[in-house]
Amino acid sequence: MPKIAPPQPWRDALGTRVRELRAERQWSQETLAERADVHTTYVSGIERGRRNVSIDILHRLAVAFGVEIRDLF
Amino acid sequence: MPKIAPPQPWRDALGTRVRELRAERQWSQETLAERADVHTTYVSGIERGRRNVSIDILHRLAVAFGVEIRDLF
């Protein structure tokens, strides 16, 4: 039986927010990945709520979007 | 020559904010560690800007303080 991870709504909320900010700028996941210096698959994982994102990555996302870290939440 | 890490002001800002929220509640680092289910040395590391804190830990800190994750920034 595969272990089912408990729901982590805070990760889902971050994913939704990142997708929102990305869509506002009409960026592809590749464009965001390039600007934030992360792998494209990592952006996809963040947006699907699958990543336990660190504050260093949150900082790079915020800089890429031109917002404050708190604006990612 | 020891490698000197580049400044990471976003980690320092989080550390300052966590210390502020903890002091407002007159909690020791041990009390916060217990409430957030992290090791006391980890709380100390966060407050000194030495930890690349993950969103799961940010969530636990926010729940312990009774605030939203965005209030940690």
* Reported ipTM: 0.91
In terms of Cα–Cα distance, which of B17, B21, B53, B27 is closest to B38? B53
CATH architecture for the domain at B9-72? Orthogonal Bundle (1.10)
pLDDT in tens, B8-56: 999 999 999 999 999 999 999 999 999 999 999 999 999 999 999 999 9
Domain ranges of chain A: 9-72
Yes or no: say if B14 and B69 are a contact pair by the CB < 8 Å rule: no
CB contacts of B10 in chain A (<8 Å) are 55-56, 58-59, 69
Higher pLDDT, A5 or A50: A50
CB contacts of A8 in chain B (<8 Å) are 56, 59
SS3 A58: helix
- Quick one: pLDDT at residue B28? 98
**Half-sphere exposure of A61 toward its Cβ, with a 13 Å CA cutoff?**
26
Yes or no: say if A47 and B50 are a contact pair by the CB < 8 Å rule: no
- Quick one: pLDDT at residue B66? 98
